[in-house]
Amino acid sequence: MDRMDGMIRADWDGTCCIVRLARADKANALTGAMLGALLAAVETAERHGAKALILTGEGKVFSAGADLEEMKAGLGTSPLWEQASRTLAQFPGLTVAALNGTLAGGATGLALACDLRLSVPGAQFFYPVMRLGYLPQPSDAARLKALIGPGRARMILLAGQRIGAEEALGWGLIDRITPPERLLPEAMALAADALAADQSHVQRLTRMTRGTQA
């Protein structure tokens, strides 16, 4: 196990890297240090030849979004948000967001950047930028619109709606709902074919399905 900054953990299962947000006592609210460590963990997984990466959290919340104290200090405009989501989106292997609970605010961009999203039944999804007076990261809004359509993206970003797991599944925001005890096993099962394949084949397929050139 690699411990990146104390609040980001990276574990390996063969050629699968499992990256965990490990600040459960604060609902995995993201700090600048955590974003930097997450970025480093994904880059390290790529350098070490991971064919799949699973992003999850500890505790009952995937992430409450940005740490409020750091937001007051300017975290909302940090380039680390875009860097972290871009690095996930460009990872040369299958990426799965295993959402162990509610996904809120800026953390949404991390899940949107992954290829697949699993969620536990009780999770909620919301991005309260209108109420809080912040703008979402540009790639977050673009990915959300591409994934669920402009009307539903406006429901979340402009109308500030909280979306439950069942509705999120119907919208296409998540791909499957899984009991908590099955979340990581299910994520590993989805990664099984990629983990068994030749790495160059994994890279070609991920590029094709992301709409980029193979």
pLDDT tens digits, 175-184: 999 999 999 9
Could you tell me the two tokens for 142? 């673009």
What contacts 90, CB < 8 A, 6 or more positions away?
A: none
pLDDT, averaged across the chain: 94
140 pLDDT higher than 90? yes
Q: Mind listing the pLDDT tens digit for each residue in 141-197?
A: 999 999 999 999 999 999 999 999 999 999 999 999 999 999 999 999 999 999 999
Give the global pTM: 0.95
Q: Residue 156: inside a domain, yes or no?
A: no
CB 121 within 8 A of CB 179: yes
pLDDT at 213 over 80: no
CATH of the domain at 200: 3.90.226.10
Tally of structural domains, the chain: 1
Domain that holds residue 177: 2-125+162-209
Q: Decide if 205 is inside a domain.
A: yes
